[in-house]
Chain A
Amino acid sequence: MYPHERSLVARLADKPFALIGVNSDPKERVKSAMERENITWRSFWDGGDTGGPIANSWNVTGWPTIYVLDHKGVIRFKGVRGEAMDKAVDQLLAEIEGDER
């Protein structure tokens, strides 16, 4: 999980792209995980357990859960992992370039 996301974030460092987390761990645990795994992206902290308000309002009952949003904030993909996540992001980045042209 972490290595793949790290490389995605590194590869798209100068693109209009952001990985945003919503984390369900106790705060100390999240912080040590971020340090240990060299996690540079930002996360909402959801209160320290899996029943947090953000997870609840997004009906998240399994972790990890992934949503991919386009640059207009529209949900375009759900549950994509690994290569499928990369492809989804690349497709949406290409759409932005298409819009600008």
Chain B
Amino acid sequence: MIRAVLMTMAVCLIALPSAALAQDAQGSDAAKELQSLQAEQSQAVQEHRAKVRAAETREERAKLTAENPAEKFAPRFLELAEKYPGTEESLTALQVAMRARDSEVQNKALAIILRDHKESKALGTMVSGWARDASKADALRQIIDASPHREVKGLATYSLATLSLRSARNDEAKREAAIKLLQQAVEVYGDVEIRNRTIKQVAGGQLTEITKLQIGMEAPDIEGTDVDDVAFKLSDYRGKVVVLDFWGDW
């Protein structure tokens, strides 16, 4: 009896770490597979570049540059992501697959990101790249709702505001909704960094542009000094046609 208990304990002691090991091993399998796929892709890209350089006729070169050697790897990145769902490696692979030209691959990758990785902090960079892509509006909304990270929420809000503004054109209601988003980006996520500036600076500037600097609006006054420290105002020139020229000697 005692022996049996001891045996069981021994088995447990061995079994526990080995279960952990197995998980680690799976993690490292994913990492290894991802690494080798990335290596294979970058080799293909390099070989393709060498071929382009070696092309002898202009036609041959044009034909080669039209090819995208990375493209055929996209489905394989997607496969890898599906094999190791929820892992960091999976997300990396999905982000590569998102850059595919093939929209089917792209959509599948996006669906998996929204299913498994909505809460990832790594989404910030990706959502920043969606500001010109109207098809991403819904995905951005989902990420804004689900992400626990201010940074990701802020960047997604700014992207959604920008693309909403672009697609609103002359639709007043849509335009107002987009302006509200922009205000929200400034007020709630103003301190979040974006391209070496802050959302407050970037989105705040856009808000000013939209609300105060449109054609047909009265120009805001400028009060300042000239290079000899003499004070003057833009409105001193009322009654004259004014070309206002922001310039630098570079």
Contact = CB atoms under 8 A, between A and B. Distances in A.
Contact of B249 (A5, A33, A68): A33
B226 interface: yes
Taking chain A's interface residues, is the majority helix, strand, or loop, or is none over half, making it mixed? mixed
B249 A20 contact: no
Contacts of A25: 248-250
Nearest to B233: A44
A43 interface: yes
Contacts of A45: 224-227
A73 B235 contact: yes
A85 B247 CA distance: 15
A24 B248 CA distance: 5
B243 A85 contact: yes
B56 interface: no
Given A25-B249, A69-B219, A16 B227 contact: no
B213 A19 contact: no
B220 A63 contact: no
Contacts, number: 148
A64 B224 contact: no
A56 B212 CA distance: 13
A21 B227 CA distance: 11
Nearest to A91: B241
Nearest to A85: B243
Given A16-B239, A59-B205, A54 B222 contact: yes
A7 interface: no
A75 B219 CA distance: 6
B245 A66 contact: yes
Contact of A59 (B213, B241, B243): B213
Interface residues of A, number: 56
Interface in A20-47: 20-25, 27, 29-31, 33-34, 37, 42-46
A29 B227 CA distance: 10
Interface of B: 201, 205-206, 208-209, 213-220, 222, 224-227, 232, 234-235, 237-250
30 contacts: A5-B245, A16-B239, A16-B241, A19-B245, A20-B234, A20-B237, A20-B244, A24-B246, A25-B250, A27-B227, A30-B249, A33-B249, A43-B226, A45-B226, A55-B246, A57-B208, A58-B208, A61-B205, A63-B248, A66-B244, A67-B243, A68-B241, A72-B218, A73-B219, A73-B235, A73-B242, A75-B214, A76-B215, A77-B215, A89-B243
Interface of A: 1, 5, 8, 15-25, 27, 29-31, 33-34, 37, 42-46, 50, 54-61, 63-78, 85, 89, 92-93, 96
